[in-house]
């Protein structure tokens, strides 16, 4: 589509070429309008981040002054150290790590084969399956939860790691299958044909050639899956029980309650929870657009 339109537009522009150039050269000027837009939206995006930082670094008594000070007079790390000394938060942290890593590994293993199949084989029903899986990303989680909760409670899985891992695969599976298909799409058929000529079996092709070649893609996919699991709220909130809560619902339960919230600590905790995800995305810059289209993060 893009190519055709490009050519068409270029043709349309061609006959009028000999018009004398205007005095203004728009591409040379400093883009003032752009700068203003970036500044305004920059304030919208980063002022809240700044405020989180300030709150997390301000001594408690100064946080509850009104009207608030826009910059802190004293800076303290007490709220961060308080987090480390809250055992239940460390417990949530471990849960988050266990569940997110297990989900990522499980989903990547399972969907690597499916991604390869979708990318390189042709059979009846392939397209329907592909798009069913794509569409399943959009099934509402609150609806899926109804049955997941019932089934897990019947088989005694409620409040377990396995319940969280299985429920997390509802969103990591479509993501991983589609990302993986994208990576395998880029591997030329010739590579596989050549291996076949050399007498390699189907599984040898996958395990000795395909997976090593697409290792960066596999890692990227796994990282995106990890992030999705790390960010999940609704499944962990409902299926985790008190012992297997992950950080997001854990923090909500711990801090947002009937009483006045411990805001500076919560802001410090927010920064800490966000850190792995921010680092992950920094690592994944190259795959950013691919990940975002596959649903690496959901709104």
Partner 1 sequence: MSAPATPSRSSRAGRGLSNGTFGFLLTLPALALFAAVIMYPLIGALTTSLYKQSLVIPGRSFVGLDNFRFVLENQFWPVLKNTLVFAGGATALAVALGLALALALNSRLPGRGFLRGAFIFPWVIPGVVVSFVWLWIFNANYGILNGLLLRLHLVDHPVVWLGQPGTAMWAVIVAKVWASFPWIMVMLLAGLQTVPGTLHEAAALDGAGTLQRFWHVTLPHLRGILGVVVLLELIWNFQHFDTIYVMTNGGPAGATTTFAVAVYNTAFKGFNLGRAGALGALWMVLLLVLVVVYVRLSERGEKR
Q: Which of 89, 116, 222, 244 binds partner 1 (CB under 8 A)?
A: 116
Name residues contacting partner 1, limited to 266-285 (CB under 8 A): 266-267, 270, 273-274, 277-278, 280-282, 285
Taking contact as CB under 8 A, which single stretch among the options 71-79, 87-95, 97-105, 140-148 is the one that binds partner 1? Answer: 140-148
Taking contact as CB under 8 A, which single stretch among the options 71-79, 83-91, 97-105, 149-157 is the one that binds partner 1? Answer: 149-157
* Cβ atoms 239, 161 nearer than 8 A: no
The whole-angstrom separation of Cα 270 and Cα 170 is: 25
How many chain residues are in contact with partner 1, going by CB under 8 A? 131
Torsion of CA 164, 170, 172, 178, to 10 degrees: 170
Closest distance of CB 84 from partner 1, Å? 19
Closest distance of CB 170 from partner 1, Å? 5
Of residues 170, 173, 133, the one with CA closest to residue 149: 170
Q: Which of 105, 120, 209, 219 binds partner 1 (CB under 8 A)?
A: 120
Q: Which residue has the tokens 């299926």?
A: 239
User: By CB under 8 A, is residue 86 in contact with partner 1?
Assistant: no
Of residues 62, 60, 61, the one with CA closest to residue 73: 62
Q: Which residues does 204 contact at the CB level (< 8 Å), separation at least 6?
A: 195
Q: How many CA atoms within 13 Å lie on the side-chain side of 228?
A: 32
Nearer to partner 1, 90 or 140 (CB): 140
Nearer to partner 1, 83 or 227 (CB): 227
Taking contact as CB under 8 A, which single stretch among the options 71-79, 85-93, 97-105, 259-267 is the one that binds partner 1? Answer: 259-267
51-80 footprint of partner 1 as x/- string (CB under 8 A): xx--x-------xxxxxx-x----------
Q: In the structure encoding, which two tokens stand for residue 257, read together?
A: 């309650």
The whole-angstrom separation of Cα 294 and Cα 213 is: 21
User: By CB under 8 A, is residue 21 in contact with partner 1?
Assistant: yes
Q: In the structure encoding, which two tokens stand for residue 202, read together?
A: 């189907």
Name residues contacting partner 1, limited to 180-199 (CB under 8 A): 181-183, 185-186, 188-190, 192-193
Q: In the structure encoding, which two tokens stand for residue 88, read together?
A: 């239940």
């Amino acid at each position: 589509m893009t190519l055709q339109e490009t050519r068409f537009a270029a043709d349309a522009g061609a006959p009028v070429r000999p018009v004398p150039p205007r005095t203004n050269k728009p591409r040379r000027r400093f883009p003032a309008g752009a700068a203003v837009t970036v500044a305004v939206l920059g304030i919208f995006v980063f002022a809240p981040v700044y405020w989180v930082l300030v709150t997390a670094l301000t001594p408690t008594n100064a946080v509850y002054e009104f009207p608030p000070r826009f910059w802190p007079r004293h800076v303290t790390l007490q709220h961060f150290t308080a987090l480390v000394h809250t055992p239940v938060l460390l417990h949530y942290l471990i849960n988050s790590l266990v569940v997110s890593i297990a989900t990522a590994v499980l989903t990547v293993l399972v969907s690597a084969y499916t991604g390869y199949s979708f990318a390189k084989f042709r059979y009846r029903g392939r397209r329907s399956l592909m798009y069913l899986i794509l569409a399943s990303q959009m099934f509402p989680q609150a609806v899926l939860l109804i049955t997941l909760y019932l089934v897990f409670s019947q088989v005694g899985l409620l409040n377990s790691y396995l319940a969280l891992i299985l429920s997390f695969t509802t969103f990591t599976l479509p993501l991983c299958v589609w990302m993986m298909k994208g990576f395998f799409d880029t591997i030329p058929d010739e590579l596989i044909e050549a291996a076949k000529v050399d007498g390699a079996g189907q599984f040898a092709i996958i395990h000795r050639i395909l997976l090593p070649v697409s290792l960066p893609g596999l890692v990227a996919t796994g990282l995106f899956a990890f992030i999705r699991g790390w960010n999940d709220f609704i499944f962990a909130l409902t299926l985790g029980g008190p012992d297997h809560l992950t950080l997001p619902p854990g923090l909500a339960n711990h801090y947002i309650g009937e009483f006045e919230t411990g805001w500076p600590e919560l802001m410090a905790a927010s920064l800490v929870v966000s850190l792995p995800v921010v680092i992950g995305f920094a690592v994944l810059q190259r795959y950013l657009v691919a990940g975002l289209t596959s649903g690496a993060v959901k709104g």
